[in-house]
Amino acid sequence: DLIRKYFGEKIGLYFAWLGLYTEFLIPSSVVGTIVFLYGCITMESDIPSKEMCDQRNAFTMCPLCDKFCDYWNLSSACATARASHLFDNPATVFFSIFMALWATMFLEQWKRLQMRLSYFWDLTGLEEEEEHPRPEYETKLLQKKLKNKNITTESSDEVRCCLLFSFMWDLCFAKLIHVLICLQIMLAFSAVFGIIVYRITTAAALSFSTNETTRSNVRVTVTATAVIINLVVVLILDEIYGAVAKWLTEIEIPKTEKTFEERLILKAFLLKFVNSYASIFYVAFFKGRFVGRPGHYVYVFEGYRMEECAPGGCLMELCIQLSIIMLGKQLIQNNLFEIGIPKLKKLFRKLKDEKTEVKEMDTNQSKHPQQWDLDYILEPFTGLTPEYMEMIIQFGFVTLFVASFPLAPVFALLNNIIEVRLDAKKFVTELRRPDTVREKDIGIWYNILSGIGKLSVIINAFVIAVTSDFIPRLMYQYAYSQNGTMHGFINHTLSYFNVSQLKAGTQPENSLFAQEVAFCRFKDYREPPWSPHQYEFSKQYWAVLSARLAFVILFQNLVMFLSVLVDWMIADIPKDISEQIKKEKTALVDFFLKEEHEKLKLIESFIAHDKRKRRSGTKSRRTRAASFSQCHRSPKGSFTSFSSQHTVV
């Protein structure tokens, strides 16, 4: 409330929203940690990773790159497998369902809180009054008018062509903007693609290197560097996109402030969303799907193999990617930038002012600086959009890929606890006091939030079904394994490949375990070499695939149904508030009634008194009657009952 008193409703609502969001993060982060701990505990007892790690059943895997890579033993990837179990266990499935419902619940609660606030802050009846067009828009109109006037002075056919031209120009303009946005999005994708290329090439390059140590931990180095580069790119692009969106909206010259803001937000959100999530989507759904098979790999520009996922499954990499980008963005962008940049600007501004000060010194020697002089040094307030934006993007991190990274809420929570303080500090000390704006709700942000909520259901379904090994495990346990346990799962997921069929020049040189390798294994469901149609997808592949898709359908519809249920059970308007409103209305009606009585009395006595006044009195009475019919017609039904009584009176 204090915030609202000082800054006005708009910022008040922002902080209210932020507060509720942070509160809601607490339970989810608790559950998240529990899920994570469950993973840690069950890690020891997880049979697949045990099987991977134990040296006895040594699976000789096919080389990861042509020529220079040797066959390798699966047990060497033990660590990653164990780690991946942390995030790839049944609990995550439960957790992602939980989070989907959590999102719905959050939105519902926000609706309620909003109602409550807007009631206590007298916003219930606030309708946007006629908005004043922005000056830019008016100037443009003016120019148009002038041009037309000029034209009209000229000859008619010129007029026609000119008008036509300007009309065409406007059309092209609208198109142009969309094209530009598409280009921007392309840019984001290309950045991701660039990073992929980097990964592939460096991986290859490093694998050439004779140095043993470098070769041994190619994957680690590549991943680490790639992610960091990715992060940097994301941060830079983020800034660029912010500017671009602003620029685009400005040249669009929308009519009112509101439309301006909304368009800006939509553009900025679209761009930043793509920017932040493109790489993650790639890792989640596309990486390692187009590898091909040994002896028939997919090659991109002359002879670089597509990259595969780590033996532990792509989920691990997804998790790393997610965590680093999320944390990086939060730490660097939200906190460093948000505080650092204003401070710097302030400093800069001060310095500049001091220079000017010196000159003016003689003029205003005596009187010490006023508050507004001091405040002038501060940054001007540039709207809440960035604040909301970062929160929404974070909300995306928390909900969209939560299946692969249950700790996301925890980090989000930590970040927000700092965030609230920082924002508050910033608003109070770093920025000039913004002019208060009355706002009924958080506007378009709500739609974006609910959109993300819906999207998250589908994405989580796919992450669990496609990216994680959850479904194959289930399938194995209940369909293929003899004794209903997970023993032999690893063996079941690996297909055989006949080494002799490796293309010439792709066999590993100077292999350490040279001759005795007849068959190497690779992670896929394909027919073995000795089957009639070798290396085709095996029946298991199709069975698992259909199981996966079935899971997606089940999950999606179940969760959607549940969230509809939640939505339906939680009333949008809190009971007490709605009753309050009703009471007030009745009170209002009674009041009008009483007042009318008095007026009538008044007027009658008055009429009795003398002629001239009577006339005006009747007039006023008539007008009053009319006014109440007006009231009756106006959208406040509570008057209806009253006016009927009034007629009786």
Q: Write out the residues near a second copy by the rule CB under 8 A.
A: 122, 124-127, 129-130, 458, 537-539, 542-543, 545-546, 549-550, 552-553, 556-557, 581-582, 584-585, 587-588, 591-592, 594-595, 598-599, 601-602, 605-606, 609, 613, 616-617, 619-620, 623-624, 626-627, 630-641
* Cα separation, 102 vs 108, whole angstroms: 10
* Cα separation, 322 vs 397, whole angstroms: 8
Residue 278 or 552: the one with the smaller Cβ distance to a second copy is 552
Residue 112 or 632: the one with the smaller Cβ distance to a second copy is 632
Instruction: Kindly state the tokens that stand for 147.
Output: 């041009």
Q: How far is the CB of 629 from a second copy (least distance, A)?
A: 10
Q: 40 CB contacts (<8 Å, ≥6 apart)? A: 86
Residue 414 or 545: the one with the smaller Cβ distance to a second copy is 545
CB neighbour burial string for 207-223, b if at least 16 within 10 angstroms, e if fewer = beeeeeeebeebbeebb
The DSSP call for residue 293 is: E
Residue 299 or 591: the one with the smaller Cβ distance to a second copy is 591
Contact 61, 73 (CB under 8 A): yes
Q: How far is the CB of 561 from a second copy (least distance, A)?
A: 10
Helix (H, G, I), strand (E, B) or coil at 4: helix
Largest CA distance in the chain: 126
Listed in order, strand segments (DSSP E) in 176-303 are 292-293, 296-297, 299-300
Number of neighbouring beta carbons within 10 Å of residue 420: 15
Q: How far is the CB of 465 from a second copy (least distance, A)?
A: 10
Strand partners, 297: 292
Number of neighbouring beta carbons within 10 Å of residue 33: 14
* Cα separation, 501 vs 530, whole angstroms: 12
Q: How far is the CB of 636 from a second copy (least distance, A)?
A: 5
Residue 48 or 453: the one with the smaller Cβ distance to a second copy is 453
Q: How far is the CB of 583 from a second copy (least distance, A)?
A: 11
Residue 246 or 624: the one with the smaller Cβ distance to a second copy is 624
How far, CA to CA in Å, does 348 sit from each of 8, 177, 334, 359, 374? 29, 35, 21, 18, 14
Q: How far is the CB of 564 from a second copy (least distance, A)?
A: 8
Residue 246 or 632: the one with the smaller Cβ distance to a second copy is 632
Q: How far is the CB of 476 from a second copy (least distance, A)?
A: 15
Q: How far is the CB of 125 from a second copy (least distance, A)?
A: 4
Residue 262 or 353: the one with the smaller Cβ distance to a second copy is 262
Strand partners, 495: 522
Helix (H, G, I), strand (E, B) or coil at 526: strand
Q: 371 CB contacts (<8 Å, ≥6 apart)? A: none
Q: How far is the CB of 416 from a second copy (least distance, A)?
A: 29
Q: How far is the CB of 466 from a second copy (least distance, A)?
A: 11
Contact 139, 255 (CB under 8 A): no
Number of neighbouring beta carbons within 10 Å of residue 99: 26
Residue 505 or 532: the one with the smaller Cβ distance to a second copy is 532
Helix (H, G, I), strand (E, B) or coil at 291: coil
Residue 241 or 628: the one with the smaller Cβ distance to a second copy is 628
Q: In this structure, which long-range contacts are made by residues 335-343, counting pairs with CB atoms below 8 Å and at least 24 apart in sequence?
A: 335/415, 335/418, 335/419, 335/422, 338/422, 338/423, 338/426, 339/422, 339/425, 339/426, 339/430, 342/379, 342/426, 342/430, 342/431, 343/430
Find, among 276, 282, 296, the residue nearest to 391 by Cα. 276
Q: How far is the CB of 174 from a second copy (least distance, A)?
A: 17
Residue 5 or 425: the one with the smaller Cβ distance to a second copy is 5
Residue 534 or 620: the one with the smaller Cβ distance to a second copy is 620
Q: What is the full DSSP assignment across 299-314?
A: EETTTEEPPPPPTT-H
Supply φ then ψ for residue 509, to 5 degrees: -75, 165
Residue 355 or 575: the one with the smaller Cβ distance to a second copy is 575
Q: Is 426 exposed, middle or buried (0-12, 13-18, 19+ CB in 10 A)?
A: middle
Q: How many residues are recorded in the chain?
A: 649
Q: How far is the CB of 556 from a second copy (least distance, A)?
A: 8
Q: How far is the CB of 248 from a second copy (least distance, A)?
A: 21
Strand partners, 519: 498
* Cα separation, 570 vs 108, whole angstroms: 7
Residue 346 or 599: the one with the smaller Cβ distance to a second copy is 599
Helix (H, G, I), strand (E, B) or coil at 537: strand
Q: How far is the CB of 418 from a second copy (least distance, A)?
A: 35
